[in-house]
Amino acid sequence: VQLQAYGGGLVQPGGSLRLSCVASGSIVSINKMGWYRQAPGNQRGLVAIDTSGGTTNYADSVKGRFTISRDNVKNTVSLQMDSLKPEDTAVYYCYAEIRSRYFSTRAYWGQGTQVTVSS
């Protein structure tokens, strides 16, 4: 099982970016899918997550600006980031809890994609 993330980059304050992540491999089912981020000197923290039941949770710092969406057929999760601020600068990691053909449900991480918000 692999998670591949796309869409990071450099954007000016107030701008938008969209991150996408696709899960591939011998997937039986996916529970949670979402995004974490880690800025230099900080611990990795939750940005947004979508449970298999459709409930979404957001970090307080991104509520109203970021929107998570999920496609259960394509095994993808996306993060639409609007009104970006310099403090959103971080490496963003895709996360998923996946049951595969060979393993019971476990956590998987994508490779990380850099988001830089700067003028």
β partners of residue 56 = 50
- ∠ CA 102-103-107 to the nearest 5 degrees? 135
Lookup: tokens for 109 = 């991480």
- 44: CB partners within 8 A, 6+ apart: 36, 37, 38, 93
For residue 24, the cross-strand partners are 2
Digitized pLDDT (tens) for each residue of the chain, 119 residues in all: 999 999 999 999 999 999 999 999 999 999 999 999 999 999 999 999 999 777 999 999 999 999 999 999 999 999 999 999 999 999 999 999 999 999 899 999 999 999 999 99
